[in-house]
Amino acid sequence: MTNTDLRAELTENLDEAEWEWLIPHARRDAVIVVAEELDLLDVGLAIASDNASEVQIWIDEALITKPSVEQIGEWNNQPTKRFHTLIIQPYVLVQEKAAA
């Protein structure tokens, strides 16, 4: 599969979810938080195509992280908080939606 095909497939999988729908994934340590300045599709494409060097840079710069205890606590208090999501098995990439 080419990157163009993969990007098209991932675009179809972009979605939104409320925090309460993501809690089961957080419990199995599968949620990855993507910084607002990154494009969710770019990150998904890099992970899906096993681009380890690019992914490692984002990890080193803390642009993709596991949710912190503080974030989870905050989100648990806002179960209807919405996120942009992209599933890249076995992970769920999430990006906070800007407050409307």
For residue 61, the model assigns a pLDDT of 97
> Distance between CA 77 and CA 23 in Å, rounded?
12
For residue 4, the model assigns a pLDDT of 85
Number of domains in the chain: 1
For residue 3, the model assigns a pLDDT of 81
pTM of the predicted model as reported, rounded to 2 decimal places: 0.92
For residue 87, the model assigns a pLDDT of 95
Residue 72 backbone zone (phi > 0: left; psi -120 to 50: alpha; other: beta): alpha
Range of the domain at 45: 3-96
For residue 98, the model assigns a pLDDT of 75
For residue 99, the model assigns a pLDDT of 64
Q: Is the peptide bond before 67 cis (omega within 30 degrees of 0)?
A: no
Mean pLDDT by 10 residues, the chain (100 residues): 85 94 96 96 95 96 97 95 95 86
For residue 100, the model assigns a pLDDT of 56
Type of residue numbered 91: Y
